[in-house]
Structure formats: structure tokens, C-alpha cells
Amino acid sequence: MKVYNRVKVGVSSTGTGNLYLAEPFDGFQSFSDGGVAGGAVVSYVLEDGPSWEVGRGTYDAINGRLTGRTVLQSSNEGDPIDASAMASVLLAPNAADYAGLPDPSAPAWPGTQVLCIDSGIYYYEKGRIIRELTQPEIDALFQSGA
């Protein structure tokens, strides 16, 4: 699963089906500006007031929508939430995306771990960050299932 930076948009549709995507929030990018290709499967967080869902969907670049919502977890007992036009969609990895990745306590090389924080994924050693993983390194981790 590819990781995208600072992608958060509004929603211009309502309901539990496909989400038509609106403009990005201040300080964030649209799906296309964030590098999301049409047909890409993305991990998302949908928030609408106190309601939320975490899932995966497919970006339809032609129609500007998120289709095929697969809900992994939600405030609606695991079902899709009924989104309003006030909802937001944030692209963010979820716990399922990390399933099968190496345990951070099992270092890639002696004394080194992989650390995931909001701003990225980093090599971490002896209490300090060594360097950020590059996008190809992140993609390889997700594709290998390592």
C-alpha cells in the first residue's frame, strides 16, 4: 500500500456509498496533487462529527470519487458511516497496512528499528532517528509483506 503525505479533502456527497471528493482543507493536498493515481487503492480515515470510519477504497480520478469502500473499523459497529457534506477524508495508513511487516523489536540490522510516526517512516537507532525511509523503501516493505 502506497503512503501519501498531507492528503485531506472534503466530501460533496452524502450516504454510505461512493464518496465524491471536494476541495482539500487548508494546508492539505487533493488526491491528485498528493500523487494518487487513478485506480489506486488507498487507506483512508473518514470523519464526520463524532462518526468515523477507517477503511480502504479505490480512487476514481475521472469522476473525483472514492469507490468500493471497505470498512475495516468504524464508530457504526464496523459498518460504513452515513457521511454528510461536512465529512472529511484523510489518507493515512491503518493497522491492517502494517500487518506482516517486521516487528520493530526485530531490527533490520543490529541496533536498528523501523519507527512509524505521523510525518513518515524512519530508521531508528539507540533513541535517535537515523534517516527517513524513501518512498521506494516503503513500497518495498509493503509489497514484500516482510
Q: Residue 128's pLDDT is what?
A: 62
Closest Cα partner for 126 from 137, 113, 136, 135? 113
Q: How far is CA 106 from CA 19, 88, 111, in A?
A: 39, 36, 9
Find the angle CA(27)-CA(32)-CA(35) to the nearest 5 degrees: 90
- Pairing mode of beta strands 41-48, 19-24: unpaired
Task: Compute, in degrees rounded to 10, the torsion defined by CA atoms 53, 58, 68, 18.
Answer: 80
The pLDDT value given to residue 107: 47
pLDDT digits (tens, 9 = 90+) for 49-94: 999 999 999 999 999 999 999 999 999 999 999 999 999 999 998 8
Average pLDDT over residues 10-19: 95
Give the pLDDT confidence of 95-145 residue by residue, as tens digits. Answer: 888 776 655 555 454 555 555 665 566 666 666 666 777 777 777 766 655
